[in-house]
Amino acid sequence: MTTDTSSHRVDKRSADAVETHWVKRSRERRSEVRVLAGLGHVALAFWAVIVIVPILWTFLAAFKNTTEIFSSPWTLPAELRWENFGRAWSKANVGTYFMNSVIVVSFSTFGTMLFGSMAAYVLARYKFVGNRFIYYLFVSGLAFPVFLALVPLFFVVKNLGLLDTHTGLVLVYIAYSLPFTVFFLAAFFKTLPSSVAEAGMIDGCSHTRLFFRIMLPMAKPGLISVGIFNIIGQWAQYQLPLVLLSNSKDKWVLTQGIADISVNAGYEADWSGLFAALTIAILPMIIVYAVFQRQIQSGLTSGAVK
């Protein structure tokens, strides 16, 4: 009886020691997590300052005159000079460049999403000879820098008779946006339930109808996410328009127009007009991202959650 009692006490002490050990370990882990979380928040705050401050400075400079920009760059403008935007829109032809960018990006994004979603769906849902080869061929385009293909691309577009046209620029935008689109959407289409597709086929849906009527609406979060990324990337593109639209100033996109304004600003001393043009270029993308922020986050996380 005494032996049983002593052994029971020993077991209890051992259990208490183990429990104390795991309590200490859990506290240490929580403290480590808190330290890492704090460092992460500091890094994010530092990054936010780096990104937000230049944008705010650009917006404020858009309402100043040239004297205020150089004499008091970090102060608020004495008055809101909306004529800077009017001068940039009409005199510097930013209005024309803006509409050209809207046209080019609209058609290129539509084409990218149409062809990219169809290619990604087939590669993700159908098994055939060469499936993996075609998929990796698309993915390899992500590692190919744009500037390495500028010279051959120029001659290809020229031989097709599409140089200095929006059609040629749209086709090139689509080609260079497809790798990321196929890579992103192929992973997303794999997460969609096969039972829904099988039910659609049993009900008599063709492959085309199954894709457009059933699978494509189910992939809406992913489509919105990759679509916004394509819009932002194509809107900010400068190298491709510079090479493919160099001789047609009336067909320039917004990035080319702003680069031309920045060159002339040093001679004409119209820095306020330059910052107004930059604001016109930046603000639409900020609005688009702010409006679709939840959809973008949903699209990025839903594929991993399903």
Report the CATH number at residue 239. 1.10.3720.10
Q: Report yes or no on 166 lying in a domain.
A: yes
* 111, 57: one domain: no
Q: Report yes or no on 88 lying in a domain.
A: no
* 57, 109: one domain: no
In this predicted model, what pLDDT tens digit does every residue of 242-261 receive, in sequence order?
Answer: 999 988 888 999 999 888 88
In this predicted model, what pLDDT tens digit does every residue of 22-32 receive, in sequence order?
Answer: 656 666 677 77
Q: How many domains does the chain have?
A: 2
Inform me whether the pLDDT recorded for 6 exceeds 80: no
Domain boundary among 61, 81, 102: 61
Select the more confidently predicted residue: 5 or 142.
Answer: 142
* 121, 179: one domain: yes
Composition of the chain by helix, strand, coil, percent to 5: 85, 0, 15
Task: List alpha helices for 191-270, DSSP H.
Answer: 194-202, 207-209, 216-218, 220-235, 239-244, 254-268
Determine the residue type at 136.
Y
* 44, 181: one domain: no
- Secondary structure (DSSP) of 51-99: HHHHHHHHHHHTTS-HHHHHH-TTSPPSS--THHHHHHHHTT-HHHHHH
Q: Give the whole-number percent of the chain exceeding pLDDT 70.
A: 85
Inform me whether the pLDDT recorded for 94 exceeds 50: yes
The pair of structure tokens assigned to 5 is: 């009692």
* 103, 57: one domain: no
Taking Cα atoms as reference points, which of 78, 61, 79 lies closest to residue 70? 61
* Token pair 């992973």: residue: 187
**What is residue 41's predicted lDDT score, i.e. its pLDDT?**
83
* 128, 268: one domain: yes
Q: Give CA–CA dist 181/171, Å, rounded.
A: 15
Question: Which range marks the domain in which residue 47 is found?
Answer: 2-61
Select the more confidently predicted residue: 193 or 59.
Answer: 59
Q: Report yes or no on 271 lying in a domain.
A: yes
Q: What is the pTM of this model?
A: 0.81
* 129, 232: one domain: yes
For the residues 39-44, what does the mean pLDDT come to? 84
